[in-house]
Structure formats: structure tokens, C-alpha cells
Structure 1
Amino acid sequence: MSLFSDINECETSSPCAQLCYNVVGSFLCQCNQGFELSPDRINCDDVDECRASNFICQYECVNEPGRFSCLCPDGYQLVRGRNCQDINECELGNACGEDNICSNYHGGYRCYPRNPCQEPYVLTSENRCVCPVSNPLCRDLPYSIVHKYMSIRSERTVPSDIFQIQATQIFPNTINTFRIKSGNENGDFFLRQTSPVSAMLVLVKPLKGPREHIIDLELLTVNSMNYRSSSVLRLTLIVGPHPF
């Protein structure tokens, strides 16, 4: 028969800051998840998960006692606790009013006029402006200008195919030539002809947002009688503020 009995310090004096485990002749302290034992082996210090890893959150990490939380910038919502997903404001309601078109981009949205045509062009279908051949002012202008809107993420990997332009009408005995007419002053883009009737706009330099590019892509058509006609696709490219 033992003359000595163990004293359970965990029950008699609560010596530990968080978790106490009794052992014969002594006790051990441990900490809850998100904390680590202090050098005195009694108290618990918060673990700064944000400092431990730069990749724990896609955008911003906020340390809290015993835990952490992730934040997203304006225009994004938190998914799966750590990632940021673009909010499509254009699907949430009539953000731009009846006279405008809502165009969503990574991190926000913009409103563009439902009728983008400027004199002497007239609207013939959605986003398509035509210069009537009966108007003398149209003689030296592209026959049509089609407006398109798109978005890419900031610092997208290059080279990257981003937009395809294609002839909508194909005539016999004609030669189609594609070129970037304007909007490429810094050499950020390259237009690669992919077939006799189509071409691909290629991003060749990484772009950092937020910024907006307006690029005129021209299709020049020449037939065997040396008749020339041109049409323009005006691409409004919005580079989002973040790489996600």
C-alpha cells in the first residue's frame, strides 16, 4: 500500500493558461489550436498564421487571437475561405440604366452607351455602327465599326491569345488583310492572321491594371477589280486591378 497519493494540480490550482493535463507528480500545459506554449511552459501565445505563410490568403490575411481570416478587395467576394472571386455586378440588377450597357470586368463594372455610334455613323444592330454609302462623308471612312467589350486579369501570362476577329461576310475573289489600326502605341499587342478570314489578337506584354485599352482592329478587303472596303472592330479591353 502506497503512503503517497498524487495531487491533481489541474483540479486544485488551475496552473495552466488554457489546457492542463495531470501526470504523476506533476502536470503539463498545452494550448488550444491557434496558440503555442510560451517559454514559461504555462502561458499561451497567439500563432500569427499570416506571418507564417504569404500564400495562406489570396489577397489579405488578418491575424486574430487563435485564428486568422482572409479579406478580398472591393468588387470581389470570399470563396472557400481563402480565395477571391469577381462579383458580376451586371447580373445583380440594372446597374447602368436603360440607355447604357453594363460590362463586367475583374473587380468592377463600367457602363457604356447602348448607342455608341457617332456621326456620320448610324446604329443598325446591337453595337454595330454603319456609315451609309449615300453619305459623302463616308467615302474615306470604314464602312462599319463594331464595338466589343472584354476584360482580362492584371499581369496575365504572355504571350496569350485574347480575342479573335473574323470576317462576317465572305466574297469570292477577294483578299482580306487584318491590322491593328490604333491603340497599340506601346507594342502591347500583336495581330496574327489565322486564316484568310480571321485573325487572333495576342497579348505580348504583361499589363498591370486597372487600366482601359481601346484597340481598333481593321479588316481591309480588296477584290480583283481593285475595289477596297474596310471595317473596324473597336475592342474596349479593361485590365482588372488584381491578378485574380
Structure 2
Amino acid sequence: MPSAFDEEADEDIDECSTGTHNCRSDQLCLNLRGSFACQCPAGYQKRGDQCIDIDECVLPPFCHQRCVNIPGSYYCQCNSGFLLTTDNHTCIDINECDTSNPCAQLCYNIVGSFLCQCNQGFELSPDRINCDDVDECRTSSFRCQYQCVNEPGRYSCVCPDGYQLVRGVNCQDINECEMGNECREDEMCWNYYGGYRCYPRNPCQEPYILTSENRCVCPVSNPLCRDLPYSIVHKYMSIRSDRSVPSDIFQIQATTIFPNTINTFRIKSGNENGDFFLRQTSSVSAMLVLVKPLSGPREHIIDLEMLTVNNMNYRSSSILRLTLIVGPYSF
């Protein structure tokens, strides 16, 4: 090996700066007194005459989570949901709920990620971020007695005209006769399920005369009354639509009982469709039975006749005129 000293001055010759070294291009020249050495740059190791990259990622862990080897070095990366700290090695959790709050409604941070949830009345959409309104009216047909109205995040029940909402679900009939109505002075107000109607205070028609409330009598002294029922009593009642059948709905009973008489009962008119049946329950009473479901709103006027006879050829009849109003709904 040639001497690395200047013979006259005995000074070291820097082969690295003069270019007289024989190091490879991928190596570093290190000047030594009287000589030089070839070294590999940082991140490389010498293998024979060559410099081979050191894979730091297979050595004892330098990175908290992920290591990326590059020629001569490496760098650290963090998993999704984590952030690399200033030491370039450690990863800390990102609180997405504080930094970006990606959720449409409720955000809950978890290590490395986050969870979205929705307020009551909403459900998480397929993207797991947004919230879709829950249509409570679609998921159940029994939430409301009459009609369910879906609203964002909630629902409400409504009732038809003539009814008021109770307990937020059920519909209760409004008694218009107690709360105000448009009946005239000579009329009486009759409330039924879902509405009201006005009827004459004096329902009697010639030759009948009013003797008491709703009772019309045809005087025996009037020749026109000879072939007519002695009395007509007007009664009013209301039932709900589509009531279950058979169902007892009204009882008729003799108000005056005569000795040695026989009373028979029949439906004289108003039963053309066979909706009713009159069942005699005693010698002085009978029960009107509903045998077919009735749908409303509809008004039925039914004449129930009681015929009284005795063995002395005495014969008399009286009528109970029942005005039956069927409401528009089953509640």
C-alpha cells in the first residue's frame, strides 16, 4: 500500500478529498491518518464489499404501532384512529367526537375509533353515521285508537271530529250537548258517539197530545184515536259502530199493569233488514236484541209495540218509538 504521507513534510494525505480512495459509490470514505477506510452510511451494514440496507422494522420495535422501512432509515405510522406524537414513535388515540364529530346526533369515542348513536325516535342508517326517522306509525298499527301521525323523532295520535284525545292514545266522545250546540229553544239536544242531533221537545203529532216528557197520548174521547195506539213514548239511544252481535241493547217494559191481562210484544216497524229481534223476557217486558252489526253514522227509528188484551175483549196497544243512532266509529 503506498504511503499516505508527504515525504518532504511528513503530512497526512486525505485520500477522501483528493479522490485517490477506492471506496464504492454507495460507501462513505473515512480518512485515517496515513490511510482511509470505506464505511456504509447510516442505516446500512457492510456485507462483503457491499452496503446492505438495515431493515429496522425487524429489529426490536422502534415504533408504537407500525414501522415503514425505507432505504437507509425508517419511519413510524399509526393505525386509523390514532395520531403520531412529536416523538415520531408513539401513537395516541384521536377523540373523533371532539375533533370532527362525524356523527349526525350522538357520538361516543372508543379507543382507535368512535360509535354513532341516535336520539329516541331515530335509528342508525346503514352508513352508521346518519340517523333516519323511525316511522312508529308503520311499525305498529295499535299505537293510536284512530289515526297515527308520524313526525321527525316522534309520533302523535289524532281523533276524528266529535272526539277528544285522552291519555295521548284513545279517543273519547265529546258531549256537545253539555259543551254548546246549535239546537233551538224548542228542540232538545241528544248526544251520540261522534256527534249530536236536535229533536223536537214536543214530538207529538196530531191527534196525539203531549202528557209528559216524550210521551204522546191519543185521547179516547177523540174519534180519530179509535184505531190508533193509545200512547207513543219517544226514546233515544246511541251505540257504537260495528258492535258485536248478538247484543241486548234496549228493554221495553209496561209502566201500568192491569189484572187478568196478557201482554205481547213485537217490532211493528223499522226492522225491514232484520237487524233486530225482540225477545220477551217476562209477562210485562221484552228485550230488543241487535242481531246484525250496524255501521254508522246512521239513524234507525224502531217502533216497539206492546199489545194488551183480556178475556173481556179489552184490547189496547202502546208504542215505544226508539230512535237509535249508530256512531261512525267503533269507539
TM-score normalised to structure 1 length: 0.98
Partner amino acid for 1:8? N
Gaps in structure 1 of 5+ consecutive residues:
none
Match of 2:270 in 1: 183
Distance in 2 (CA, whole Å) between partners of 1:227 and 1:38 is 84
Count of aligned pairs: 243
Aligned-partner Cα distance in 1 for 2:274–2:190: 25
Amino acid across the alignment from 2:108: Y
Matched, 1:65 2:148: no
2:281 counterpart of 1:194: yes
Match of 1:8 among 92, 95, 102: 95
Amino acid at match of 1:68: Y
Aligned to 1:239: 326
1:60-115: CA deviations, max 9, x gaps?
A: 11111000111100000001111111001011135413211111000000000000
In angstroms, what is the RMSD of aligned CA positions?
A: 0.9
Which segment drifts farther, 97-106 or 151-160?
97-106
Instruction: Determine which of 118, 124, 129 is the counterpart of 1:42.
Output: 129
Structure 2's unaligned 5+ residue stretches are 1-63, 65-89
Rounded Cα–Cα distance in structure 1 between residues aligned with 2:167 and 2:313: 60
Q: TM-score, normalised by structure 2?
A: 0.72
For residue 243 of structure 2, what is the aligned residue in structure 1?
156
Match of 2:229 among 142, 145, 150: 142
| Shift in Å, 1:5 | 2.1
CA distance in 2, matches of 1:23, 1:224: 99
Percent of residue pairs identical:
87
**Pairwise CA distance, 1:7:** 1.5
Residue 93, structure 1, aligned to residue 180, structure 2:
yes
State whether residues 89 and 95 of structure 1, in contact with CA within 8 Å, keep that contact through their aligned partners in structure 2. no
Deviation of 1:56 (Å): 1.1
Which residue of 107, 111, 126 corresponds with 1:24?
111
CA distance in 1, matches of 2:168, 2:197: 28
2:204 and 2:303 mapped to 1: Cα distance?
Answer: 15
1:105 paired to 2:192: yes
Distance 2:150 2:264 in 1: 57
Instruction: Determine helix, strand or coil for the equivalent of 1:206.
Output: coil
* Kept in 2: contact 1:117–1:129 (CA 8 A): yes
Matched residue, 2:300:
213
Q: Matched residues in 1 for 2:221 and 2:313: separation?
A: 21
